[in-house]
Amino acid sequence: MSIEILNSIKKANNFIKEKKIKAKKIALVPTMGALHEGHLSIVKKAKKDADVVVVSIFVNPTQFGANEDLSKYPRTFKEDKEALESLGVDAIFLPTEAMMYPPNYNTFVTVQNISNILCGITRPTHFRGVATVVLKLFNIIKPDIAYFGEKDYQQSVIIKTLVSDLNLDVIIKTVPIVREKSGLALSSRNLYLNEREREDAPMIQQALKKAKESFKSGEITNTATLIEEIKKYLSNGKTLMLDYVDVVDSETLSHLDTATKHSHILIACYCGKTRLIDNISLK
Ligand code: AMP
């Protein structure tokens, strides 16, 4: 069967209603399109777990700041559709901005405290936009399971908190980061990088791996020292400029002075003008 394009909320509602009558288990994979192997690995996982897989493609304006890349964010629907079709995805939910945020739209949801730290410092309205659109997507698609990538680690913790705090009836599953051979985490924004920046970008993961090795060898548990080591390593990348790096509790995202196995290092780093994020578990 060919893939259904649900290009209105009504179409999506009808599609879902029909599947629910048949007691089908529905999976949702929210994306902003410009799909790469990272997205596709999530889709493959969803296909294994559920009867019906819906991928949403929506470049959500409310999660972009005023000076960010909303207008130039890559849009590759034709290729996205082909890739999803070949994986046997059942439907693409493809709303427009006007459908999701009609005139006089007024409702936003904020997951307090963990939205204004780490990435939330440079992007103060980002996670409010993410939480709002994800809640809307959950209400429209009513998935039994929804999938998020560990690449956006803070986002995944925020979504889990949203689901728990608001008693949403959906299971959240996370999927490991897919990387290029170089170690660079796949991202739709990698398309912005020029040749020189592409050479430097893998240093972000190298710095994280080096810090993890220092931690694992028992050499360093003091997070200030780990952070210094990462900063020093990245200072060798000519096109790199660190936004932040922090060692946090893997569940609560709160800063730690001493790293443990239950910690994550989270990082955002400009590579030229492109802001890239990555993270590593110290487990
Ligand atoms: P985006 O289209 O960037 O909003 O991403 C959609 C979903 O794909 C999010 O849950 C991301 O965390 C996930 N994702 C993006 N890049 C990767 C990657 N390299 N590996 C695994 N998941 C990813």
From 152, 172, 191, 204, the mutation candidate for ligand 1 (largest count of ligand atoms within 8 A of CB) is 152
Mean pLDDT (the chain) is 98
Does the beta carbon of 276 lie inside 6 Å of ligand 1?
Answer: no
The answer to whether the CB of 153 is under 6 A from ligand 1 is no
Torsion, Cα 62 65 68 73, to 10 degrees, reads -10
Question: 161-183: string of b/e by CB count within 10 Å (b at 16+)?
Answer: bbbeeeebebebebbebbbbeee
Tell how far the Cα of 22 is from the centroid of ligand 1, in angstroms. Answer: 30
Ligand 1 binding pocket mutation candidate from 32, 39, 189 (most atoms within 8 A of CB): 39
Q: Is residue 276 packed enough to be buried (19+ CB in 10 Å), middle (13-18) or exposed (0-12)?
A: buried
Closest atom, ligand 1, to C-alpha of 155: 12
pLDDT tens profile 12-27 = 999 999 999 999 999 9
Reported confidence tier of residue 104, pLDDT bands at 50, 70, 90: very high
Cα(127) to ligand 1 centroid in Å equals 15
Percent of the chain with pLDDT over 90: 99
Query: pLDDT tens for residues 148-173?
Result: 999 999 999 999 999 999 999 999 99
Q: What is the DSSP string of the chain?
A: -PPEEE-SHHHHHHHHHHHHHTT--EEEEEE-SS--HHHHHHHHHHHHH-SEEEEEE---GGGS-TTSSTTTS---HHHHHHHHHHTT--EEE---HHHHS-TT-------TTTSSSTHHHHSTTHHHHHHHHHHHHHHHH--SEEEEEGGGHHHHHHHHHHHHHTT-S-EEEEEPPPB-TTSPBP-GGGGG--HHHHHHTTHHHHHHHHHHHHHHTTS--BHHHHHHHHHHHHTT-TTEEEEEEEEEETTT--B-SB--TTEEEEEEEEETTEEEEEEEE--
- Separation of CA 44 and ligand 1 centre (Å): 13
CA of 30 to the centre of ligand 1 (A): 9
- Please indicate whether residue 262 is annotated as part of the active site: no
Distance CA 65, CA 238 (A): 26
End-to-end CA distance of the chain: 42
**pTM (whole model) above 0.95:** yes
User: How far apart are alpha carbons 140 and 99 in whole angstroms?
Assistant: 12
Distance 21 CA to ligand 1 centre (A): 31
pLDDT beyond 80 at 1: no
Share of the chain above pLDDT 70, in %: 100
**Mean pLDDT of the region 63-78:** 97
Ligand 1 neighbourhood includes 186 CB (under 6 angstroms): yes
pLDDT digit string (tens) for 224-266? 999 999 999 999 999 999 999 999 999 999 999 999 999 999 9
Upper half-sphere CA count for residue 214 (Cβ side, 13 Å): 19
Question: Does residue 149 have its Cβ closer than 6 Å to ligand 1?
Answer: yes
Per residue in 176-218, pLDDT (tens digit) is: 999 999 999 999 999 999 999 999 999 999 999 999 999 999 8
Q: What is the pLDDT of residue 219?
A: 83
The residues, ordered by sequence, that sit 6+ positions from 106 with a Cβ below 8 Å of its Cβ are none
Residue with tokens 């110290």: 282
Nearest-angstrom CA–CA distance, 157 and 258: 21
Q: Measured from the CA of 32, which atom of ligand 1 is nearest? A: 2
